Amino acid sequence: MSKGTAAEITRGSGNVFADLGMADAEERQTKLRLAHALNAVIDRVRLSQATAAVRLGINQPKVSALRNYKLEGFSVERLMTLLNRGGVSR
């Protein structure tokens, strides 16, 4: 863009995946929100990945994927189950 040229700004929809035209945008957004909530609990309780894995009933590499928002291996249902497990906040 050269000097003096006005840039066009488009307001997002609130779902970056939809804005990018991804077919599964709603599912991706839902998974992201659930993972964010899970990571917030893990941070609040100050759990290590190993301890979080035990409390969530998954292995440490899955916790690492979750912490890094690599959510391909997680379904919405699985993330909801993990979030609803009471053991994570003990």
Q: Cα(31)–Cα(71) distance, rounded to whole angstroms?
A: 7
> pLDDT per residue over 3-27, tens digit each?
767 888 888 888 988 888 989 999 9
Q: Cα(18)–Cα(59) distance, rounded to whole angstroms?
A: 31
> 84, 56 in Cβ contact below 8 A?
no
Indicate yes or no: pTM above 0.85. Answer: no
> 31, 73 in Cβ contact below 8 A?
no
Q: Which two tokens stand for residue 7?
A: 């840039």
Residue burial 27-63, b: 16+ Cβ < 10 Å; e: rest: ebbbbbebbeebbebbeeeebeeeebbebbebeeebb
> pLDDT per residue over 37-52, tens digit each?
999 999 999 999 999 9
